[in-house]
Amino acid sequence: MIVSLVLITLVLVAAMRIAQARDPDGRYANSPLKEWFDGLRSGKGPCCSDADGTAVSDVDWESKDGHYRVRLDGAWIDVPDEAVVTEPNRVGRAMVWPIPSYMGVTIRCFMPGSMT
């Protein structure tokens, strides 16, 4: 019984930490684009928010033969077609939502920029 309560408590604490995402100081909470970022989705699911995404410089992403790739930490990573956000980019800059794992980095969402 005690072990079950401890496990439930640990799961709840972990869930609360995940729900906070990467905005521990609240700097994105008052952004006028917060709701838009929170609603962004790709074919792989929700992107989460601006706090979880990473801005990508124009030299660090490209399109070739209708497919995208991004350079993260010096390595080029192909963006799966289903990870591309298809709605208009309201911030202008390219953004990527990477998911690091022991097998390498995968892309959850990618939003092409305006290349200006």
List domains and CATH numbers for the chain: 33-111 (2.40.50)
Lowest mean pLDDT among 2-16, 27-41, 60-74, 98-112: 2-16
Tell me: the pLDDT tens digits for 36-79? 888 889 999 998 765 678 899 999 999 988 899 999 999 999 99
> pTM to 2 decimals?
0.70
Pairing of strands 61-64, 67-72: antiparallel
pLDDT at position 36, please? Answer: 83
Residue 54 is inside which H or E element, if any? strand 54-56
Question: Distance between CA atoms of 15 and 28, rounded to whole angstroms?
Answer: 20
pLDDT at position 15, please? Answer: 45
